[in-house]
Each structure stands twice: as C-alpha cells, then as structure tokens.
Amino acid sequence: MIPKSKRAVVQAVALLSTASWAFAQSPEMRPPERHAWADASLSPDARADMVIERMTLDEKIQLVHGMGWESIFDPPQAGPGVRALQPWAFIPGIPRLGVPDLQISDSVLGVTGSGGKSRYATAFPSAEAEASSWDLALAAETGSTIATEMRAHGLNMSLGSGVNLTREPRTGRTFEYKGEDPILVGLMVREELKAARAQGLIVGIKHYAVNDQDGGRMFVNSVLDERSMRESDLLPFEIALRNSDIGAVMCSYNKINGIYACENQHLLSDLLKKEFGFKGFVISDWGATHSTVPAALAGLDMEMPGDDFFGTALKYAVERGDIPLARLNDMVHRILRTAFASGVVDSPPQPYVVDVFRGFEAAQKVEEKGAVLLKNTDRQLPLKASTIRSIAVIGGHADAGVLSGGGSSQVSPAGDNPVPPPPITEQNILGPSESVYHRSVPLKGIAAKVPGASVKFDAGIDIASAVALARASQLAIVFAVQNASEGEDLPNLSLSDNQDALIEAVATANPHTIVVLETGGPVTMPWIGKVSAVLEAWFPGIRGSEAIANILFGDVNPSGKLPLTFPRSEADLPHPKLNRQPARAAARSVATASEPSRFVVGDVPARPGFLTNTTPFDAVYDEGLRVGYKWYDAEKKQPLFPFGFGLSYTTYAYSGLKAEPGKGLTVTFDVKNTGDRAGEETAQVYLTLPASAGEPPRRLVGWSKVALGPGEQKSVKVDVEPLFLSVFRVDRDAWEIVTGDYKVWAGPSSRELPLSATVQLSGK
Ligand code: BGC
C-alpha cells in the first residue's frame, strides 16, 4: 500500500500508533459481558442481528469505511484513531456495544502491520516457495504461525493470501502468489487460511479478481471470457471459499470486462455471495472503491482505507433511499457476524512477545521444502564439505542478506535493510524503488559448512574481478537477484544489471559454477548450458541462508517443484509484449459523473526501466483457459523448465497406475525411491478431458507428497474432487462432467508423465 519512498512518514505514524497501544486494551474494549449478545452459545448471525438493532445510523456507517488516506500522513491525535496500530488499516469499534476495533494487517508473507519497525515479525519466503512445496501441512503451519504472530501484535484481522494466477509472469507481484494452476493455488490457500482462522482471527483472501498485472493496476480493464474466468482465475477463490470460514474478500483495483471489481454485481453478489456461499464481507483494496450507490448495490461491504464513498455519501444515499437500509444492515451484519464467528469478540488478541524461534523454524522449513533444484549436471550438488578447499561466492549481496519482494507484503527487515538504497537522482526524484534484504547472510551460511576452506566474496559488479576470484577457486556460487514489487511489472524476464553476463563469464572461468536465483518469478537463462547447477531459491525469507546452505551441502534433500512455467524466452509467452491494448470504447464503468473515479494516492512511482501506465488500457486475456503450462502444452512449446518440475538428490520410479471413477476419481499408483538417500516426491496426477470438452491438453487434478527412504516403495492414492473433473458450461451456468473417455496421467512433472490409463466418466 505504502510507496517505499514514504517509509519515513509511515515509520513516524507507526511510532505514534505504538505509543497509543495502551488504549486498545482499555476496559470498554473488553468482551461485551454486559450485553445479551455476549452469549457465545448464540449463532454469530443471531448475535450480529442483536447488535444491529441497537445501532444508530452513524454507528453503522462508521463500521463500513476506514479512517482515511490522510491518516497515513497525519495520524489522528484524538478520538478512536489513537487506538489504531495502523490508522490506514483500522476500523474503530463501538465501545458502548462491545464491538471491537478491527486492527488490520497485511500478512501474505508475514505480519507487516505491527505499527512500524519496533515489533518483530517473521519474514517468510515468497508465496511461490510455499507453493513449490506442494505440501498442504506446510501451508497450514505457515498460516497458523503467521496468525499466531498477528495476535501477538494485537491485530485481529488479516488481509490474507493472494490467489491471483500467474497469467503474466512479468507481473511484479508474482512472488506474493502461488503460481499458475488454480487447483494447486486453491488447495494450498484453503489449508493456509483454515489454519490461520483456527487461531481466532478474521482472515481474508485477495485480489478478487483477474488482477493479473500490477503495473497500471488502477487503469487496467481485464478482458476475459466467463468460462475461462470460472475455470481459471475464479476457481482458486471458489475452492478456498466453499464451506470455509474466510471472513473477508478483497476486491481488486482493476475493471473486469468493463466494470470495476469493487462494483461488479456479477462477481460480488451473483458469484461470491450467492454461488460460492460467502458469508463474510467484501473489503475494497486500498483505493479501489469508485462509487457509492453502484458499489454498495453491487455488493461491496467496506471501503478502505477512507470514506470517500462509504462515509457521508453512503449515509445520504441511505437517507435518500438510493440504497435500502436493509443493504446497509447487510453490510454491517456481514462484518459483525464475521467478528463473532472468528472469535475476536470473545477472545480478543492479547499482545505478547512473538515466538521468534517458532517463526525461524517455520520460515526455514518453507524455504527448505520450497527451493527448486533446476539443474544438477554430474551430481555437482550436494557439495561434499570434506573435499572443498576454496569457494568463490559472487554477487547478489550474498555478503549482506537475502532479497525480499517490495510493496504491502514486505515484512520489515529485522535490524533494518543491510543494503542501503541507491542515492536519489534528478531522474527519479521520488527515490528509486528500494530493494530490501533480510539479514540472513548466504556467505556466512556457506562458510559455516566448510570451516577449513577459504570462502571469499566478490560483489559481481566488476566482472573481471569476479572472474579472477572464480578462476582462483575450486568452485563458484553466483547469487543472482531480481527485484520485484507490487505496483509495477518487470519489462522482461532477463536478470537485470548485467547479471547474465556475469554468470556467463564466471561459468566460462570455472566449470564448477552453481547459480542460486533469488527472483520473484521465472527468469530466462541464456547461460543455462554453461553452469553446472541452478537452485531457484525465490525470495528466501529470514532463514534463507541456512536453508540454501543446507540444500547446497545435502543436509536437506531438495523436493520443491515449480508452481509455474519457466519459458525459454518472452517470445513463447501468450503475450510476448506485455498485454496492454488501447481501451475499447465499449469498456465502461458504472461510476456516474457525480461519483467520479478517484485515485487519491497513486501507484508506486515508476523507476527507470520499469513500466507504468496512467491511461486506461485493456489486458485482453485471449489465451483464455490456456494459463501457464496449459498454454505451452496447447501450443506445443518446449519450456525451459516445465510446471511441476524439480530435481532431487535421489531418483524415483513410478508404476502400476489405476483409476477408478466414484464420487470423483480415485487414482492409485506406486512410487519407489530408487536412490540411496531419503527424499520427498510430489507425485502429480493430470487429466486429459474428452475432445468434446474443448479443454487444453492436460490439467492438474491432484497430487500426493510422499516421503520415501532409500529403496522404499509406497502406494499413493489421489482422490480427485468432482469439481476438478468438471468444465463450466456458460449456457447452463453450471459445472458439468462431460461424458466420455478421460486419460489419466501420473508422474513427476507436467512434462514427464510415465503412467497413463483411460477411464470413462459419465456426467449423469
Ligand atoms: C494492496 C493490497 C494490500 C493493501 C493494504 C494495496 O495496495 O494491493 O494487497 O492488502 O494495499 O496494504
């Protein structure tokens, strides 16, 4: 939310709000023992209705908007706002009725909203690292750890996980999302949020919907047909939301097929609330509300962070009858029933010291299970410490820390950013986008594994000097970094700052060159044929260096598998150039002239070389259903590394596939560890639908993560939910299983599927 250049202001705000912490605990904010709705045996809906009966119109309005953009720069000095940990993410409660404040925070990769840097929160690796584990238990552990830290900070509402699909890998927020497959994303997020919710927190999910490019996100109209939307971009929401207790859905900045997400009746009311059965409230992304009447009638329940449309304007609209009181009551009901259901009313968070040690362990585990070994020629890895005399560690600020992604998900680095931002120049008066590193130092992690050896560092800026060190060393480990941030897209998939040339030169100088990538998403690798090993570490989090060293030296056997495709070049993408087309005249907003769209605070300022856009444009996703690997399969393009791919230090063999139709489909087969060390394999199941279904060649329908000792074989069972077998029939407005022959595939990646069987399914 906050442009990095405004961090100083934000820190000042944060200090003030931390000082006012005591107010949040004042007696009138304690559970409402004296009220009839204090009875926790009543249903959340009944309790919410009892409160609403006692509320004034002003109190209702107070609950459906934030305190204003101004509070970012001018924090409240009096009134309820002084209780806020972050005034720009705060809804004041109603003490007389025992309605608690909503103290809200981002928490995609850890808690960001503790009121500034004065309180510690664990910085987790990128969401892609978690997704690369394909490990549902790990997703739950991550959700639960972050939620526990939220409560320790005194926060009671998390804006939750991002589930946008990687349709466009250059998107600056790829690192906040979980890849390109709707079923993988949906199932991982479902586990993560269920576990977070179990800690007694209001949890959210975002960005609804089709917010698949971030540069110009406030000006983009995403154009996508209904079937593709249901089977791709909306499916992870549907999977995570059905029968769940998710409390909030954040609508996104963009328009979808001409209508802003936050005033889109079809998305908010018809689908989300009716069809997916969502009982919580819709909260706007920060500045994504564009109208009062259309937004309220379409289904938006809360404007954030201000009151431009849901403050006085909403009150007047209700008084005038433009918005029925029943609709306002519904908004308030959704917010209150969510608060009761989540437990934040009956058991408000009690601040305490964050369990730093649990956080360290959890973050390290995500990185160890989520880093993906992409290449390992001649078993270069794992390194054998006893045979190593000298290592050249090159580039990527590996002597200082590990990179993190920018924007609202960025957890404050403990002990501040060890890599000072470049100076402000005349060309970029607002300051360049800052790359923030966490102080987990790869150089130290590596040196600790080889106490007797010489481990030297070269910054990699002067290629000749890096080459000289590489030549004088037994092996070279190059750390390559690619900064990425909310609010912008990458101009291309190449490593920036001459890093391709650096790797090429080092690999030419030393045949034992290992590349560790710290990137927000896929990058192209013109040097791939020259290096002996590549480890994709993503943005590795607060214990990144320990995890990376453990993998490089074999204390951990890598098991991560890519949640998205690495293309060979941009030319192979559905949109070789970023998907930006002149806005079509047909695109329209339902905002009226008297309720103009307003962008009070703009996007993150552009920095040289990065794209920005302030005029409306269309992103026409005419690849439709062919998202990610489905595109490469359909177009018969060979990716650099396919979806689902990842190496291990052991090998696996697959045999004996059986597929039995039942409620859905039950797939069984055997996986054997054919190597000499223990490992974990993600055995994947894909499906080819009958030709009449008109689907891309294959879709992932399930997987099993199986731990196997050396030589061990296990039988694996994957139960495929009926929804995952279905196609969305727009003409019938329904999911349907097409009758016909289905080919079931199993194997270690989307492009290596040694087992297959045919099964007949009936739609009846
Ligand atoms: C981001 C959201 C975030 C919000 C609050 C927005 O700019 O798009 O993901 O939750 O700010 O920080």
Residue of 91, 161, 218, 285 best suited for mutating to test ligand 1, as the one with most atoms within 8 Å of CB: 285
Q: Are 130 and 366 in contact (CB under 8 A)?
A: yes
pLDDT of residue 114: 67
- Tell me how far apart the alpha carbons of residues 616 and 21 are, in angstroms, rounded to a whole number: 42
Ligand 1 centroid to residue 1 C-alpha, Å? 5
Residue 437 alpha carbon to ligand 1 centre in Å: 21
Q: Which two tokens stand for residue 97?
A: 């009725």
- Residue 711 alpha carbon to ligand 1 centre in Å: 48
Alpha-carbon distance of 407 to 561, in angstroms, equals 26
pLDDT at 597: 36
- Which of 67, 102, 408, 412 to mutate for ligand 1's pocket (most ligand atoms within 8 Å of CB)? 408
Q: Cα separation of 204 and 215, whole Å?
A: 23
Closest CA to 408 of 82, 600, 160: 160
pLDDT at 427: 57
Task: Summarize pLDDT for 486-502 with one digit per residue, the tens.
Answer: 988 999 999 999 999 99
CA 749 / ligand 1 centre spacing (Å)? 33
The residue nearest atom 7 of ligand 1, judged by CA position, is: 1
Residue 261, SS3 per DSSP = helix
Ligand 1 centroid to residue 142 C-alpha, Å: 20
State the Cα–Cα distance between residues 93 and 691, nearest whole angstrom. Answer: 55
Tokens 């009958």 identify what position? 690
The CATH number of the domain covering residues in 371-564: 3.40.50.1700
Distance (angstroms) between ligand 1 centre and the Cα of 410 equals: 11
CA 712 – ligand 1 centroid, Å = 46
Positive or negative: CA dihedral 107, 112, 115, 117: positive
Question: Which pLDDT band holds residue 614 (cuts at 50, 70, 90)?
Answer: low
* Residue 530 CA to ligand 1 centre (angstroms): 41
Q: How many CA atoms lie within 13 Å of 265's alpha carbon, on the beta-carbon side?
A: 7
- DSSP-assigned letter for residue 240: H
pLDDT of residue 118: 67
> Which residue(s) pair with 260 in the sheet?
255
Domain limits, the chain: 46-342, 371-564, 646-761
**What confidence score (pLDDT) does residue 72 get?**
75
CA of 407 to the centre of ligand 1 (A): 8
Which residue, judged by its Cα, is nearest atom 4 of ligand 1? 1
Please write the tens of the pLDDT for every residue from 367-381: 999 999 999 999 999
Return the residue whose CA atom lies nearest to atom 11 of ligand 1: 1
Of 10, 212, 249, 286, the one to substitute when testing ligand 1's pocket (max ligand atoms within 8 A of C-beta) is 286
Q: State how far the Cα of 386 lies from the Cα of 378, in Å rounded to an integer.
A: 18
The answer to whether 123 touches 146, Cβ cutoff 8 Å, is: no
User: Which of 10, 105, 106 has most ligand 1 atoms within 8 Å of its beta carbon, as the pocket-test mutant?
Assistant: 106
CA of residue 603 to ligand 1 center, whole Å = 11
Residue with tokens 């299970």: 369
Instruction: Write down the pLDDT at residue 384.
Output: 97
Please choose, from the candidates 350, 291, 298, 338, the residue with its C-alpha nearest in 3D space to the C-alpha of residue 317. Answer: 291
Of all atoms in ligand 1, which is nearest to the CA of residue 112? 12
pLDDT tens digits along 409-419: 999 999 889 99
Q: Give residue 25 CA to ligand 1 midpoint distance, Å.
A: 27
Atom in ligand 1 nearest the alpha carbon of residue 106: 10
SS3 119: coil
Between the alpha carbon of residue 371 and those of residues 117, 178, 364, 538, 752, the distances in Å are: 28, 13, 11, 7, 20
Q: Counting atoms of ligand 1 from 1, which one is nearest the CA of 252?
A: 8
Alpha carbon distance 209, 187 (integer Å):
18
Contact 649, 677 (CB under 8 A): yes
Q: Average pLDDT for residues 71-84, to the nearest whole number?
A: 86
* Tokens at 519, concatenated: 């990137």
- Residue 488 identity (one-letter amino acid): E
- pLDDT number for residue 680: 98
Q: Are 211 and 254 in contact (CB under 8 A)?
A: yes
Mean pLDDT of the chain: 91
Residues 731-755 have a mean pLDDT of 98
Please, what sign has the CA dihedral across residues 578, 584, 589, 590? negative
Encoded amino acid at 323, one letter: I
* Each residue's pLDDT tens digit, 565-574: 999 999 999 9
- Please tell me the pTM assigned to this model: 0.93
Helix axes 325-342, 44-54, angle to 10 degrees: 130
pLDDT digits (tens, 9 = 90+) for 285-340: 999 999 999 999 999 999 999 999 999 999 999 999 999 999 999 999 999 999 99
Residue 611 has pLDDT above 90, yes or no: no
For ligand 1, pick from 10, 111, 159, 601 the residue to mutate: most ligand atoms within 8 Å of CB.
159
- Nearest C-alpha to atom 5 of ligand 1 is from which residue? 1
Give CA torsion, residues 235, 45, 95, 102, to 10 deg.
Answer: -10
- What pLDDT band is residue 216 in, cutting at 50, 70 and 90? confident
Token reading at 7: 């961090």
Task: Tell me, in angstroms, the distance from the centre of ligand 1 to residue 24's CA.
Answer: 23
Question: Atom 6 in ligand 1: which residue has the minimum CA distance?
Answer: 1
**Ligand 1 binding site (Cβ under 6 Å of any ligand atom):** 1, 106, 159, 206, 285-286, 408
For the segment 436-466, what is each residue's pLDDT rounded down to a tens digit? 999 999 999 999 999 999 999 999 999 999 9
Q: How confident is the model at residue 596 (pLDDT cuts 50, 70, 90)?
A: very low
| Preceding omega of 207 cis (within 30 degrees of 0) | yes
Q: Examine domains 371-564 and 646-761 and report if their fold is the same.
A: no
In the structure, what pLDDT confidence band is assigned to residue 33 with cuts at 50, 70 and 90? low
Q: Whose CA is nearest to atom 9 of ligand 1?
A: 408
Per the structure block, which two tokens stand in for 215? 């540069």
Strands (E), 252-325: 255-256, 259-260, 281-284
Q: CA-CA distance, 488 to 614, in Å (whole number)?
A: 12
pLDDT grade for 606, boundaries at 50, 70 and 90: very low
Looking at the domain 46-342, which fold is it? TIM Barrel (3.20.20)
In 3-state terms, what secondary structure has residue 5? helix
Q: Do residues 488 and 611 lie in contact, with contact meaning Cβ atoms separated by under 8 Å? A: yes
Using the mean position of ligand 1's atoms as its centre, give its distance from the Cα of residue 486 in Å: 9
Angle at 713 (CA atoms; ends 710, 715), nearest 5 degrees: 150
pLDDT digits (tens, 9 = 90+) for 11-25: 333 333 333 333 334
What pLDDT does residue 598 have?
A: 33
Query: Atom 12 (ligand 1): residue with closest C-alpha?
Result: 1
Coil, helix or strand for 276?
coil
Residue 24, pLDDT score: 39
Choose between 72 and 333: higher pLDDT.
333
| Whole-angstrom distance, CA of residue 573 vs CA of residue 232 | 17
Q: Tell me phi and psi for residue 103, to 5 degrees.
A: -100, 105
More confident residue, 26 or 763: 763
Task: List, as one string, the DSSP characters of 472-507.
Answer: TSSEEEEEEEE--BTT-B-SSSS-STTHHHHHHHHH
Q: Which CATH architecture has domain 646-761?
A: Sandwich (2.60)
